Every structure is written in C-alpha cells, then in structure tokens.
Chains A and B, each alone.
Chain A
C-alpha cells in the first residue's frame, strides 16, 4: 500500500522524468514501442512524450483490436448480417469500421438487424429471447477479450442454446510482435508491454523478446506514471546492460496470468493456421477459431462467408501506423480524408487507435501551429 501511495505522488512524475534524462546517453536514439492501444491513448491524452528527452521516441504497436481487423473480415461480417432472419451483434466500435462497400452501420441502415452489445453475454441473452432467429456475435479482441467469448460459448452450449453463433476474429498478441521483430522496417530498442492482455497471458509469453531478440520489455499499467515508470525500467536495463522481462504492473498482472481464463480459451478455441491483419498481411498462428467441439456454433461454418481478401484502400496507411513505421500525422489522409467522423482506416475508428487518439487530443492542431 505504501508503495502505491508513494507511486501516485505527483512529484514522482517529475522525479522519474528527471531520472530518465540522466539514464539516456546523449548521442543515442532510443525507439520504444508501446504495444497496447490503451497506452497509446494515455501517452497522447497526458502528453507523456512531451516529458521525455528528445532522443527517446515512442512508436505505436498493433495492440488495438478494432484497428487490426482487415476489410475482408468486415465484409464477411456484413454478409452474415444480411442473411435472412439473422440478428447480428457486435461491440460498438466495430459498427464504424469500413469494409469494401461500407460499414456495419451502413448495412443496418439498409435494413440488416445489427445490434450493439456491451458484452458477449448480452448477445447470448438476445439469442435466448429470440429462439426462432439466428443470433451471430462478431467476436474481436486479443487475449483480454477472448476468455469472455469462450465462457459465453461454453454457457450457450451447456444451456443448449442452438441459435447462437460466433464469427471469431480473436487474435493473439505474440505472433504480431514476432512479425514486427523479424521485420527489417523497424529498429526497436525495447517494448512497453501490454497491461490488460498480460492479466490473462501473464508475463512469461514475452520472455522470447529478451531471450531471442535481445530487447528489454516492461509490462506496464495505464496511468501516466505507469508508462513513465516502464520507460524508466527499460532505460535502466539498457544502461545496466541487462535484457529481461520486467513487470511494472505487478499489482494487477500475475507472472503466470489467469490460468482459468487460459484453460477456458483452450477448450473453446484453436489456432488458425494463419490470419490476416490489417496492413500486416497474413501472420501464422495469430488468430483463433472455434474448436471442433464448438463447430456447430461457428457462424463461418454454419453460414459460410465470402472470405475474399480485400486490399486496404490505397490512401490508407494504417498498416504502417500499426507497425510503428510512420506516425499517425505522417499518413497522407490523416485529418483530411480520414477523421473520426468519417474514418477511412481502422486506426481512426477506435479511441485506442493511434490516429484517433492523436486526433482527439489536439496534438495534430498543436503540431500544425508549431509548423
């Protein structure tokens, strides 16, 4: 408790920022990736990058579940929503993500019965209230969200709810990180590890980052001080010549994650051979589908989907933003063709998306003034 109280002391922010200044080598450029969209949001909201020395650069990672959904999957979802009698359910953020011929919101305006839900359990309730109609839940999210879908499917099966189906778009966090580390585009010096995903998977799955790639990582919480503290920890590792996984968010994240959540996931899901990510292409074993025991609830199997791969719009550079290769404001359509009101790319849709976060917190306007 004492640690937590001290940790929240505002003066500590200044102390940390001061110490960070002392930890960096003046001639060296440091590039750290914050993996999780929640961190991106915090960084822009609180101006954390303004507190850092000029040679410490933060780049945004692929950890925003809405952002990584490719257009073809949106099209597949819309095709399910247009099936006769189907009630299509999804999280609110998904409604505005553009497919090749419009969004789910457009499909709703055309008459499809599309309903926003807060929880997969809300979708299950809708299925039980409408037993004569098929109810499809469009599942998205990393390991943070996948256990919730899994537990909901388990319950539906146990209760014999035969009109509840899932179109599974769940993804896993490690394969895209490996893909980024293997990519020649990006030279990273360390990672701010994702907090909420780690409550489920734990810290162990990130050990390959120091052991195989020689990069330090600190799993971090979402408060501004958490993020600063994680940067401090990574810089300290680099200065000491250490390279390991550290857990800045140990007050919430257990080293081994949540065994119950992992067990439920392994019962209900299995890995797809590959899954397409927006702007990143196909990544091996990065997506989940329903296991054979749940195949009768798999909307893709029961209804079939077009499954057509759709290239991202030419103007859209979400892929490069998701890989940290460019900053949101360096995208050709940022703030002009692509805004939160009329997004072209996914990163502008979700509030965890790097572009939306940057746009919403006025950083764009500020940069423009400076220029």
Chain B
C-alpha cells in the first residue's frame, strides 16, 4: 500500500473512532445506565458489614479499621461490547467491577446475608466471612434491588421477578413464595405476623409471615418501591404518585395521605410521634403521625433518597449530593454538618454515636453528629 492509500485508511479509521467516541460520550453523559449499588451498613459486635460498589461484602472492625472482604459476587454474564449491558453490576461505563449491591446486609444469629443484582442471595459467617449457602444453588434469579429482612426465624426478600421469597436462614431453603404483579425493588417490613412489601404494580401487600398468604392489598396511583415504616399499627409508605400514605396495618384502609412535589423514595423515620419523610423534591416533611398534618418542612436544596439515621434525638439526613444535615427533633433546628461532595443514595448507618455514610468514591465516611467532627474515612477498595 502506498503512502496515499495508508493516509486514506488512516482517515477512515479516524472517522470511525470519532463516531464511536461521539456515541460513547453521548451515552456516557447519561447517568444511571449501569447499576452501581447503594448498600448501607449493618453493625454487630463492633464489626460493620457493607456491600461495596466493587460487589463484595466488606467487614470492617470499627476498633482498628481493619478490613475483611469476601470474594466478589459472580456476575451472570458480561454482555455488551463495551460492558454497558444493564445486567452488569458496577463495571463497564464508569463503575467499579463486580455485581451491584443495593440491599443492606442483614445480620441474624451467626450469619450475615446479602443479596446481589446478579439474582443470588449469599449467607456468610460473621466470623471470617466463610460462605455458608447461596440461594438459588443453581442458576440465577432476576436481580435483587431491595434488601433482606430477618424476623421470626425467616428471611424475606422481594425480587425483580415480582416474587416475595421466604427462606430458612440456616440452610437457604425456600419456605414459601408469593407472586406480585410486577417488579419489587423495595425492602419489606415485618410487624407481628404480617409482612408489608410494595411492588411496581402500584400495590402494597400485607402477607402472612407463616405461609405467605395475602391478608390485604392496597392500590396506590403509582408504583411503590419505598420501604414501609410500621409504627403504632400504621404503615407509612411512599408511592410514585407523590403521596405518602398512612394505612391501617390490619386492613389497609387509608388513614391519611400527604402529597409532596416528587417521589417519597426513602423510608421515613419517626421521632416523638412525628414522621420525618425525606422527598426527592429536596424537602424533608415533618408530619403528625396521627393525622398527617404538616408540622413543618425543611428545604435541603437537593433530593434526599437515603434513609435518615437517628442519633441521640437528632435525625441525620444526607442529600444525594453528599451534604449532611442534623435536625434536632426536640427544637426543630437544622444545621449542616458536612459536605462530602460525593453522591450518596444508600441508607445511613448509626452505631455508638457515629454515622457511617457510603459514598460513591468507594469509601465509608464517618461523622460524629454531636461534635460535628468528621472522622477519617474507611476505604472500601479491595487490595487486588
């Protein structure tokens, strides 16, 4: 090939690279194309367990910050030339490699449980993180976005396949299942012998924990992916119709509803009979638990998608931009504690007066809300 021919081929290659770059940059600007995960933390005996954005269960000794982590959860497959397939967790377009973990780990007895976006549930020993069992043993289910909950000798979780699973915590055997009308992304809540879980089919289901039989269902005008809060026999649940509903836990009848300007994505908290409901419109609404009357609202300037934490009578909120606020539930005063300048979507974890915040930069930020001191962060990056 002469010089001219080579030049022509070179120009063609450049053009192809240009088009590829434009396409990838165009898509790269679209945030949220690839699952990354937003697991919160669970603490037991001074050890904090959290699902990292690398797809590992990490155990941190809170006394000396030493870390122990499991092998990365296995992916179903890595489809997609550029690793942008939505089935992938974390990897490819901007995320860390590994399976996305959205649910917060659950500690029950000697085991810690975690569900992955790869459609598997794992049980590890809290000591040493040795794998005890995996559900399902063969193949993979649809991705898990909602977290697990353990109560009355059973593990419960809802999957993207729309099924609520009840498992034996010791063996991982399935005890019962219940099919809803669409995907489930929310974490269930248990109150007495009733399990509450929302679905994309716009319904909140109340199931009997013993056998999974439906007790009642409530239909909203939008999908339900939030985690319910049960307090004084009332279920508080946010829906995509921008309402926060208060339902009678025994029959699902509506006690009251409050409309925000966006979705109530995060689970609310209750202090002194006041519901504090974070909303994606950037406000936290303080509502009377009894009748839904608005006490006040706090403008945090940015959407709030994380479940708040309660520490010594103060409620700690984080916005999606990583700005931390402390609200004194007694006086109603709110103040900014810190700005981590990192995206935060996962729930906050509080333990012995310290709040742990899992940020997008693969680290666990720590803050003492009483003194306002920001402690040294813990890296969740694995060494290999």
Q: Do A and B come from one complex?
A: no
